[in-house]
Amino acid sequence: MNVLRILPLLAALLTVPVAAATRQAECLVPSKPGGAMDLTCKLAQQALQAKPDAPRLKLSYLPGGIGAVAWHTIVSQRRGEPDTIVAFSGGSLLNLAQGKFGKANPDDVRWIAALGIDYGVIAVPADSPWHSLRDLMAALRRDPEKILIGMSGTIGSQDWMKMALLARQAGLDPRQLRFVALEGGGEEFVAMQAGYVQVVSSDASETSLYTGAGKARVLAVLSEKRLPGQFATVPTAREQGFDLVWPLIRGIWMGPDVPEADYRRWVQAFDSVESSPAFAQMRARSGLYPLALTGDALSRYIRQAVADYKRQARQFNLVREH
């Protein structure tokens, strides 16, 4: 073969741009699979898949201390990883406010994006004798010792706080209630299906995974007004005489020493993702409601939320001062 004829062809091939390898990244779930933290990382994964130039996320699980293990792992050992992001929720912020992460404060990490807002719910098994929040609270007043309440975390967790605040309004001392501490929302519903607990203090996104299968009945949503979709027929706590609204932000953060350019790259990626109609559909399928905050605006929101949670937790003497 004539070498002179081959050389132009090789030169032409060499000038064709080669697609850059897709960047790999990790979304750290600070709980066991099956709960809302898992849903948060999966929503981020799905949203980024729809963006050709975005990194591809793999999910890793690091449960423990309702987020404390993941927080301390990143802050102490993996501070500058530019392609590791971590899921968080309002429960994470409540733990920060109470000092459950030690001397940590909101400015110890970099907040990337809120993917949506969730709301607290109170649920029971589908065959439960209680058909309303009033029914449940009346039963608790009669004999709180007989009813086991499943919650994610321990005393002072957001699931505990929701029930404690409702109990106070029902004339009950929260210390009379019997709680079962579990790790993550998925475990709450497994425990309820097994008959280990009779009530679950949870969130709309987690609960949506189980009510669709007819395994749970939601007695109340802790939102300002009724939620659309599958919870449209469920009354709010306020409608049933209990003045409690419990919103939960869900989003992602990363280590404090991540270079500014990498941090901004993530913020811009989620700015782009969250402005698309396709993301609104993904968010709705995940049981979340609109809340689009990124970067500096999210950081300000987080600081205020932690301050608000701290004031609320002080009602129950739950803040550890350092």
The predicted-structure confidence for 177-223, as pLDDT tens digits, reads as follows 999 988 766 788 889 989 999 999 998 888 887 776 678 899 999 99
Give Rg (Cα) of the chain.
23
For 119-240, which CATH superfamily applies?
Answer: Periplasmic binding protein-like II (3.40.190.10)
CATH 3.40.190.10 range(s) for the chain read: 119-240
| Amino acid letter, residue 100 | K
What pLDDT is recorded for position 22? Answer: 73
Decide: 63 and 30 in contact? Cβ < 8 Å. Answer: yes
- Picking from 143, 103, 96, the residue whose alpha carbon sits closest to that of residue 305 is 96
Instruction: Look at residue 301 and give its three-state secondary structure.
Output: helix
Output the pTM of the full model: 0.80
CATH 3.40.190.150 range(s) for the chain read: 25-117+247-314
Give the architecture-level CATH label for domain 25-117+247-314: 3-Layer(aba) Sandwich (3.40)
- Measured CA distances, 258 to 50, 78, 82, 253 (Å): 25, 9, 5, 11
What pLDDT is recorded for position 233? Answer: 94
Residue stretches of the chain with pLDDT short of 70: 1-21, 184-185, 212-213, 322
What pLDDT is recorded for position 7? Answer: 44
Question: Strand ranges (DSSP E) for 1-131?
Answer: 24-29, 56-61, 84-89, 110-125
- Picking from 286, 231, 314, the residue whose alpha carbon sits closest to that of residue 87 is 286
